[in-house]
Amino acid sequence: MNENRWLPSREINTETVNIKKWTTHQILVYSSDELLKIHRAISKSLWSCERAVNGIVRHVKKGGRVVTIGAGGSGVAGMSVMRELPQNHEALSPHNFTYRVAGGGSIFDPLGCEELEDSFEEGRREMDALSVNDKDVLIFISATGRTPYTRAAALRAKERGSLTIGIVCHESELLTEVDIPIFLDVGPEIFMGATCEMSATAQKHTLDAIMNAVVIKLNVTNGNICRARLVHEKARTRHHFFKNHAQGS
């Protein structure tokens, strides 16, 4: 048997089998302790994350794009980071730092068009529609590491010469199919199958850390202050505050 193959049996949490008998306080304590597992998992992956940062910076300096790809909660985790980057850092183009989620805009519907995560064809089509090439970096996010849409997109991006990065929470196929695998060993979720919880949270924190390092290395921040797009009142207020503060210092 392939030891890297995802199996549902690996998602069973033996610690929570009697959760229906727990008090409300016990449930909340266990849920908050999940953050410790996330911290440990990310800490163990930092060397891989550093490789990812270096690769992203190198490709962006050559004019490449950075795109996250995922389905369901993992895709939304990528989207939540990538849609903010061009807002917080005006030097970054939303065309060069972007995301794709299985189902596209329909992800915002009540059931989110989740069935498209099973489509290999959709994953390959997504890469061809983006015309990805050897300048680009594609970041594939999957809790199980075996989602057909995400795996097919990763294989197609590699065929087209892109640098491929995987952020995965189970030892499974996708980790062997990308150039830079990032394994977040968070263990099983509280509820079997609820991978939009701890796994997606770990993936978002990891991507946040990677992109924080990227924007610093690309010199698009003013130290620890964003050079944000002045598209709303809060951004303009912060801009004037820091401008006046710098002049008065």
Asked about 171 being catalytic, the answer comes back as no
What pLDDT band is residue 1 in, cutting at 50, 70 and 90? very low
Tally of domains in the chain: 1
The answer to whether residue 240 sits within a structural domain is no
Quick one: pLDDT at residue 2? 46
- Tens of pLDDT, residue by residue over 31-49, are 999 999 999 999 999 999 9
Domain with 120 in it:
51-218
- The more confidently predicted of residues 173 and 53 is 53
The answer to whether residue 230 sits within a structural domain is no
The answer to whether residue 115 sits within a structural domain is yes
The answer to whether residue 111 sits within a structural domain is yes
The answer to whether residue 135 sits within a structural domain is yes
Please determine, for residue 64, whether its predicted confidence score (pLDDT) is greater than 90: yes
Output the 3-class SS for the chain: CCCCCCCHHHHCCCCCCCHHHCCHHHHHHHHHHHHHHHHHHHHHCHHHHHHHHHHHHHHHHCCCCEEEEECHHHHHHHHHHHCCHHHHCCCCCCCCEEEEECCHHHHHCCCCCHHHHHCHHHHHHHHHHHCCCCCCEEEEEECCCCCHHHHHHHHHHHHCCCEEEEEECCCCHHHHCCCEEEECCCCCCCCCCCCCCHHHHHHHHHHHHHHHHHHHHCCCCECCECCCCCCCHHHHHHHHHHHHHHHHC
The answer to whether residue 227 sits within a structural domain is no
Asked about 117 being catalytic, the answer comes back as yes
Please determine, for residue 150, whether its predicted confidence score (pLDDT) is greater than 60: yes
The answer to whether residue 20 sits within a structural domain is no
Catalytic residue among 11, 15, 34, 84: 84
Catalytic residue among 11, 117, 122, 189: 117
The answer to whether residue 204 sits within a structural domain is yes
The CATH number given to whatever domain includes residue 191 is 3.40.50.10490
